[in-house]
Structure 1
Amino acid sequence: MLPLAFTNAGDYVEVVRVGGNDEAKQHLSDLGFVPGAYVTVISAHGGDIIVNVKDSRLAITREMAQKIQVQPAAKN
């Protein structure tokens, strides 16, 4: 398990846990970052991380990505 902030472009991962205060957890949940969700990392260069989650492309800050614990997942 590692923070989403430590992933690389092209990685396909499963969300295991979302940390942070209640407001941060709710915000990330609203974006689709919930345990069991699958995420494809599009870009991890610079400040923001761009991902595909639940058929949406999103940019999140590295600070927020640190709160999301993921594990490698196999693509179906």
Structure 2
Amino acid sequence: MPLVLVKPGEKNSIKRIGGRDDTKKRLETLGFVVGSPVTVVSEINGNLIVNVKDSRIAISREMANKIMV
């Protein structure tokens, strides 16, 4: 399921990252790699704040739709 459907506070593991190669590379540099744990902290208008690799990162709804957990 895409990351946007995860409820705040739920811990999940990244299963797959979709999108174009440049999008995948950008997410990888932010710490979104397959197998990494990810937790949604909050959602504001569809945009998410997530914990990944001990960092809080804000990502858009479009980006979060590309991350499967």
Identity percentage of aligned residues? 52
**In the alignment, residue 56 of structure 2 is paired with which amino acid?**
R
Aligned counterparts of 1:44 and 1:8: Cα–Cα separation in 2: 9
Measured on the aligned residues, the alpha-carbon RMSD in Å equals 0.8
**In the alignment, residue 32 of structure 1 is paired with which amino acid?**
G
Residue in 2 that maps onto 1:9? 8
TM-score normalized by the length of structure 1? 0.87
**In the alignment, residue 23 of structure 2 is paired with which amino acid?**
A
2:39 matches 1:40? yes
Aligned counterparts of 1:60 and 1:33: Cα–Cα separation in 2: 11
Number of residue-to-residue matches in the alignment = 69
Structure 2: gaps (5+ residues): none
Runs of 4+ in 1 over 2 A off after TM superposition: none
Which has the larger strand fraction?
1
